[in-house]
Structure 1
Amino acid sequence: MTLTELRYIVAVAREKHFGRAAEACFVSQPTLSVAIKKLEEELDVKLFERGTNEVSVTPLGEAIVRQAQSVIEQAAAIKDIAKRGKDPLNGPLKLGIIYTIGPYLLPELVRHAIEMTPQMPLILQENFTAKLVDMLRTGELDCAIMAEPFPDTGLAIAPLYDEPFIIAVPKSHPLAKRSSVGADELKRETMLLLGTGHCFRDHVLEVCPEYARFSSDAEGIRKSFEGSSLETIKHMVASGMGVTVVPQLSVPRDTTGGLVTYVPFEPPVPTRRVVLAWRRTFTRYEAIAALRNAVYACQLDGVERLTA
């Protein structure tokens, strides 16, 4: 039994496909298949059920894959310990971030990280919350910046900031002249939402639960639209298609002359908590602290920093 074979079975369990797993491991499919068959023969167990289009993990195989992942992490930890003895911040840090935070935090965060810890380059992955949590669990990521809540998988969590939501309306809309707007007033508006999979969509539906029904004849709802990104939805707002709710950091610093007006909520203002999460077995504590410091060095207009 080798670490390479363990990496192969973890990859197959993750990809549910031998070909994709081989690509992820940078080997040919026959090489991967032979290695896994050899491991199954050595353990005298069947790890995978081979289907026509997808591979599934057997019940016993799931337990073995979990242990294999743990062994891989522990082996990597040995290298981390050795590096920490020389420079605890030496080496890349694999950082995940959700779509509704990445475009607004990463440019400044990366610049500060380069200035503060040039020996620790960031390897970035932007994705949905569920995918990032899964990548943390399997060791594909070291840490991730996400918004609570997300599935409890035993991750270590450090709060970064609380971010208020704000309403985006066309410049010509009657609400654009208001100093603040109540959440109940949005029931009468055409709401533009992010597509399924975005956690911020769920946050908006908590503020405006009526839109969860997606029914054209539901009381107070005319129609709702979905977009693939906040920036796409902002363009739809600018064209007069409706209104939306966005996180504070997505609001441009200079809104003069734009076609979208951003109006605060009346109290209580809805917010989301943004956190940094990592596996409890991850040993580069100094790297986590350095990343938090780089986040706090960012301007972060309009949010409440959480340093506890």
Structure 2
Amino acid sequence: MTITQLKYVLSVAEYQNFTIAAEHSFVTQPTLSMQIQKLEEELSAKIFNRATKPIELTEVGKKIVEQAKIIVDESNRITDIVHQQKGYIGGEFKLGIIPTVMPTLLPMFLTNFTNKYPKVKLIIEELTTEDIVRKLTDGHIDAAIAATPLENEAIKERPLYYEPFVGLIPKGHRLHNQKLIEVDQLEVDDILLLEDGHCFKDSVLNLCRTYKSDSSLHFQLQSGSFDTLIKLSKEGFGMTLIPYLQTLDLNEKDKEFLREFKAPQPAREISLLYHKSQLKMQLIEALKGTIDGVVRGAISFSDVKIISPIQKKEL
């Protein structure tokens, strides 16, 4: 039994297809199939039911895969131990970031990190929260930056900063003349929202869920871009809510439409996430230290109320 064989098993279990698994393992399909067959012969047990499409795990195969994940993680930890002992910070590091954080946070720390740790090959991918959880669980990314808490026992969360929601309210809107707005003044059908899949939308819905909603309104829009929401809001199609860091890039004229909430301000918690197996911790600590150093001067709020990024189910 080899670590390589176990990695091949995990790949087939994930993709449920020998050919696709071989492509992602960077080997030929016959090589991968032969190694898995050798492992099955050694164990005297069938791991996969090849008669089904897609390929399925046998009952004993499910237990083997669970143990294989642990063994592969522990084998990777040996390399980490050596790197930590040598104080080495380098190698490939895959980072996922949610779309509503990527454009504001990434420019703040990327140059500092790459200059400080030139031996690190940082691979960054924009991912939804759902994809981040899946890829962290499957080991396809090493860490992620997303809104929390996610209430997932397999994932560790280390808060980076708390980012208040800010209202962008056009002229003529019922709340435009107020210096500060309150949560109980929000009406969900009066707010331009991001499209499904964005956790910021779910946070806004959680914020407004217990408040009145006018279902008679004939206009409703969901967009994947804060820029689109801001432009439509200024045209009078409704107010919108945006994260604090997004407001820093607005011009002075547009900032006249911004309205903060009364304290405690509703806010999202942005955290650095990684799997509980805690692999590549020296890189994770380096990344967190870099981000802490740059965000501390740009965003510092404590009197806030954290709004969950997980959409609450109505009873």
Q: Shorter chain as normaliser: what TM range?
A: 0.7 to 0.9
RMSD: 3.0
Q: Which residue of 1 aligns with 2:186?
A: 186
Number of aligned residue pairs: 301
Per-residue deviation, 1:207: 0.8
Question: Residue 234 in 1 paired to residue 218 in 2?
Answer: no
Q: Distance in 1 between matches of 2:147 and 2:197?
A: 13
Task: Kindly indicate whether residue 246 of structure 2 is the aligned counterpart of residue 247 of structure 1.
Answer: no
Question: Any conservation in 2 of the 1:96–1:144 contact (CA below 8 Å)?
Answer: yes
**Cα 1:233–1:59 shift into 2, 3 Å:** farther
Q: Which residue is 1:256 aligned to?
A: 252
Match of 1:71 in 2: 71
In the other structure, the counterpart of 1:157 is 157
The 3-state SS of whatever aligns with 1:304 is coil
2:282 is matched with which residue?
Answer: 286
Give the 3-state SS of the residue equivalent to 1:164 in structure 2: strand
Match of 1:117 in 2: 117
The alignment status of 1:304 with 2:301, answered yes or no, reads: yes
Report the AA paired with residue 276 of structure 1: L
Task: Say if 1:18 and 1:208 are closer, same or farther in 2 by CA, change over 3 A.
Answer: farther
1:267 maps to which residue?
263
**Contact 2:11 / 2:25 at 8 angstroms: preserved in 1?**
yes
> What is the CA-CA distance between 1:106 and the residue it aligns to?
0.8
Aligned to 1:127: 127
| TM-fit CA distance, 1:15 | 2.7
User: Is the contact made by 1:190 and 1:223 (CA closer than 8 Å) also made in structure 2?
Assistant: no
TM-score normalised by the chain length of structure 1: 0.83
1:244 to 1:12, Cα distance in 2 relative to 1, 3 A: farther
Distance 2:231 2:16 in 1: 38
Identity %: 34
Alignment partner of 1:167 is 2:167: yes
Cα distance in 2 for residues equivalent to 1:233 and 1:16: 40
Deviations 1:65-119 (A, max 9, x none): 2221222222222222222333331323222222221111011211121233223
1:53: Cα distance to partner? 5.7
Gaps of 5+ in 2: 303-315
Q: Deviations over 1:172-223 (max 9, x none)?
A: 645344312222322175322223332222211111116999x944xxx655
CA deviation after TM superposition for structure 1 residue 299, in Å: 4.1
Q: In the aligned structure 1, how far is the partner of 2:219 from the partner of 2:58?
A: 45
Contact 1:160 1:276 in 2 (8 A): yes
Name structure 1 gaps, 5 residues minimum.
none
Secondary structure of the equivalent of 1:100?
coil
1: distance between equivalents of 2:300 and 2:228?
Answer: 23
* Partner residue in 1 for 2:10: 10
